[in-house]
Amino acid sequence: MLKWYKEAGNNSDVIISSRVRLARNLKAYPFSAKLSENQAKEMVTKVKDAGLHLQEKEEKKYYSCNVDMLSDTEKTAMMERHIISPLLIAKEQSTGLILSEDEKISIMINEEDHIRIQSIVGGMNMTEAFYLANTADDITSELFDYAFHEKYGYLTSCPTNLGTGLRASYMMFLPALTVAGKVIKLAEELGQYGIALRGTYGEASKSLGSLYQISNQKTLGSTEKEIMDSLNRIVEQVMKQERRQREYILTNGYDEFEDKVYRSYGVLKYAKQLSSGDAMTLLAQLKLGADLALLKFKDNYNIHELMMEIQPANLQCQLDKNIGSVQRDKYRADYIRKKLPDIQ
């Protein structure tokens, strides 16, 4: 079964993935801030069972686990693959997770809300992402009595998620807008439409491989479809701007850009040490070069998959041991060298 990041999606030159998150709470328990450890434990045990229910109804394999019992490396690796959030890792209470085999659906237990259903699919396909999360929500809601208010909708721990509890987000690859220094201006403009733009792993934008998340901020007063439609309209615009900027690069600095892309390939293919920041920047160059058909791989290859695999915790999970940062940089360079396909 293909994991979402191995699938080729629509508009994958600019949109890496589409993600939906639904926040839900059980009526019978206090919200996270007032939940006792015993109640938290009880909740994890109870909700984890929903995994079996989902498996039965959807005829798809689901796994579940107690997140607080995992090692820090395992938790961080899951965060790097966007399965769980940094907040879930930071929680001191009992926390849990239900995960589908293809990693498209994950349900976090005891994050900011009792239940956070998340679905993620490759490319621009919010319709499928919403369908998956919504179906999982329908099935899960057969087991629990959700906190729902006639006027305010789904009640959430923080009033900023009230109503639909829906956060729809696209992970976008915006290298040309980044180079042109237009991303901060873009973030300000999007803010006026209630759309947030932020870095993917919360790190400084420069070393991120030009990956950004664009998502709705308002959750109350519009239907799920209206929220996603308005996000889609804006994302289409961002996509147009990015492509226009890419054309500009091609027409106004082709030679320089071509040189950069091939140099990036050269460094990635022959370097002996690579920090994750350097690797991300170089891989972003390579992805842009491949997207613009400036450079062709002999085999069809998804560079974003490699971007996730070379994150520090994911690398350590592959090795099955913790290593220091110098060793990790060496291993990362080795890993990339082996994985990168030849160019035509």
Partner 1 sequence: MLCDKCKKNEAKIYYTEIINGEKKEQHLCEDCAMEYSSFQMGTPFMNQEITLGNLLSTILGNYYKENSHSGEHAEKELHCKGCGMTYSEFLKEGRFGCVKCYDTFKKVLEKSIKSIQGSDTHTGKKPKGFETKTEKLVKELPELDKLAIKLQDAIEKEEFEEAVKIRDRIRELKKEEMNNA
The DSSP letter of residue 83 is: S
Q: Cβ atoms within 10 A of the Cβ of 112, count?
A: 19
* Residue with smaller CB distance to partner 1, 56 or 138: 138
CB of 287 to partner 1, least distance (A): 20
CB of 223 to partner 1, least distance (A): 4
* Residue with smaller CB distance to partner 1, 103 or 112: 112
Where is the binding site for ATP, in residues?
Answer: 17-21, 82, 116, 167-171, 198-203
CB of 38 to partner 1, least distance (A): 15
- Give residues with Cβ within 8 angstroms of 275, minimum separation 6: 325, 329, 332
* Residue with smaller CB distance to partner 1, 10 or 217: 217
CB of 25 to partner 1, least distance (A): 7
The sign one gets for the Cα dihedral 92, 98, 103, 105 is negative
* Residue with smaller CB distance to partner 1, 56 or 101: 56
CB of 194 to partner 1, least distance (A): 7
Which run of H or E residues covers position 80?
helix 72-80
| Token pair 């060298």: residue | 337
CB of 79 to partner 1, least distance (A): 10
Q: Please, what is the Cα angle at 191 between 121 and 248, to 5 degrees? A: 70
Where is the binding site, in residues?
Answer: 17-21, 82, 116, 167-171, 198-203
* Residue with smaller CB distance to partner 1, 52 or 158: 158
Residues forming contacts to partner 1 in the complex (CB under 8 A) are 25, 27, 30-34, 85-87, 90, 112, 134, 138, 141-142, 146-155, 157-164, 166-167, 184, 187, 194, 196, 198-199, 201-205, 217-224, 227
Spell out a b/e string for 278-296, using b for 16 or more CB atoms within 10 Å of the CB, else e.
Answer: bbbbbbbbbbbbbbbebbe
* Residue with smaller CB distance to partner 1, 27 or 296: 27
Spell out a b/e string for 325-337, using b for 16 or more CB atoms within 10 Å of the CB, else e.
Answer: eeebbebbbebbe
Q: Exposed, middle or buried by CB within 10 Å (0-12, 13-18, 19+), for 210?
A: buried
